[in-house]
């Protein structure tokens, strides 16, 4: 396929700006991410035991005085600190039982710079007070918990070398660093026939372009994290995936197709009067399990 020689301005903007504009809806309002993330919370609850056990395994092999945790793609709302709290409680309890005390925890909250970090920081004093009161009510002595915001893309280095004990990332890593290249033909028209994501009408070049971007991003992610984690450290990744290798698997494309149709209707209503042209491409990849085995 020949490449687009003079990319449409909007594609240039999209490919360059994704990391500086992508963010979930801020605040605590009705349409905010904080009020609309119960699906993500359910997956976290389902994976909680596994995540806690992985963090406990790090504690068992290392017993650091200060345990450092990072949540990558934390967004805003209660999901992020929910998992951090569960991990800290489990390690604290284990450390009291074994008399090898880990009494300080440092939690790094990472997301892109436009994330609503303020909401996270504002919620922290109340979170910390309740967390401490919960432990002290049961006669225990609560550990100190510190948080810090780390703005930046996880597709690159975020922390100094060997500085983290445990990393988790939930529902974030399927977002690619950019709209894949190669989705335009030599006339700079979308080869994806007006679709915003891979669909059953997409030519194979579309899913190949998404896969190439995923490979590049995922390798960069893993290389960065391997430099940042201590030797005994661990990472747990919870992200969208699909069981089949069929790139247009309905379970992963149905929502985008509905959105496609809704947007097409909205655009057709305004374009008749304003001559408005619209093109939107999603920078997200739901990879099949075989694609992941490549990295294991």
Ligand X SMILES: C[S@@+](CC[C@H](N)C(=O)[O-])C[C@H]1O[C@@H](n2cnc3c(N)ncnc32)[C@H](O)[C@@H]1O
Binding site for ligand X (CB under 6 A): 19, 22-24, 37, 40, 73-75, 79-80, 110-112, 115, 153-155, 170-172, 175, 177
Q: How far is the CB of 177 from ligand X (least distance, A)?
A: 6
Nearer to ligand X, 131 or 154 (CB): 154
- 230 backbone dihedrals φ, ψ, rounded to 5°: -60, 165
Closer to ligand X by Cβ: residue 21 or 133: 21
> CA 38, CA 32: separation in Å to the nearest integer?
12
Nearer to ligand X, 17 or 136 (CB): 17
Q: Which is nearer to ligand X, 24 or 198 (CB)?
A: 24
The residue sitting closest to ligand X, measured at its beta carbon, is 73
DSSP string, the chain: -PPPSS--HHHHHHHHHHHHH-----SSSTTSTTTS-HHHHHHHHHHHHHHHHHHHHHHHHH--SEEEEEEET--SSSHHHHHHHHHHHHHHHHHHHHT----EEEEEEEE-TTS-HHHHHHHHHHHHHHHHHHHHHTT--PPEEEEEEEES-SSS--S-TT-EEEEEEES-TTB-SSPPS--B-TTS-BTTTT-SS--TTS-HHHHHHHHHHHHHHHHHHHHHHHHHEEEEEEEEEE--EESSS-TT-HHHHHHHHHHHHHHHHHHHHHHHHH---------B--EEHHHHHTT-
Nearest approach, Cβ of 200 to ligand X (angstroms)? 25
CB of 138 to ligand X, least distance (A): 28
Q: Which is nearer to ligand X, 49 or 193 (CB)?
A: 49
Nearer CB in complex with ligand X: 154/197 = 154
CB of 241 to ligand X, least distance (A): 15
Closest distance of CB 22 from ligand X, Å: 5
Tell me the closest approach of the beta carbon of residue 39 to ligand X, in angstroms. Answer: 9
Work out whether the CA dihedral 68, 228, 287, 256 comes out positive or negative: positive
Minimal distance in Å, beta carbon 263 to ligand X?
A: 20
CB closer to ligand X out of 143 and 210 = 210
Q: Please answer whether residues 33 and 76 qualify as being in contact, where contact means their C-beta atoms are separated by less than 8 angstroms.
A: yes
We find the least distance from the C-beta atom of residue 97 to ligand X, in angstroms, to be: 30
Q: Which is nearer to ligand X, 111 or 228 (CB)?
A: 111
For residue 24, list its beta bridge partners: none
């Amino acid at each position: 396929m020949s490449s687009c020689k003079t990319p449409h301005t909007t594609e240039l903007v999209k490919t360059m700006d994704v990391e500086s504009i992508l963010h979930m809806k801020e605040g605590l309002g009705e349409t905010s991410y904080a009020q609309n993330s119960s699906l993500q919370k359910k997956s976290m609850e389902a994976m909680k035991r596994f995540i806690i056990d992985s963090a406990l395994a790090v504690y068992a092999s290392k017993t650091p005085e200060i345990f450092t945790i990072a949540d990558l793609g934390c967004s805003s709302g209660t999901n992020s600190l929910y998992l951090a709290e569960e991990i800290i409680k489990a390690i604290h309890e284990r450390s009291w039982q074994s008399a090898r005390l880990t009494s300080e925890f440092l939690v790094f909250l990472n997301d892109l710079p436009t994330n609503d970090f303020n909401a996270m920081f504002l919620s922290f004093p109340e979170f910390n007070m309740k967390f401490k009161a919960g432990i002290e009510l049961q006669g225990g002595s609560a550990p100190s918990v510190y948080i810090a915001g780390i703005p930046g893309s996880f597709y690159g280095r975020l922390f100094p070398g060997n500085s983290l004990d445990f990393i988790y990332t939930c529902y974030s890593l399927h977002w690619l660093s950019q709209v894949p290249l190669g989705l335009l033909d030599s006339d700079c028209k979308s080869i994806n026939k007006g679709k915003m994501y891979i669909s059953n009408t997409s030519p194979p070049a579309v899913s190949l372009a998404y896969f190439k971007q995923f490979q590049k991003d995922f390798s960069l992610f893993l290389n960065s994290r391997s430099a940042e984690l201590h030797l005994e450290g661990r990472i747990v990744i919870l992200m969208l995936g699909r069981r089949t290798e069929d790139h247009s698997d309905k379970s992963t494309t149905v929502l985008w197709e509905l959105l496609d149709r809704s947007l097409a209707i909205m655009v057709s209503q305004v374009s008749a009067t304003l001559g408005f042209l619209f093109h939107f491409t999603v920078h997200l990849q739901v990879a099949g399990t075989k694609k992941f085995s490549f990295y294991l």
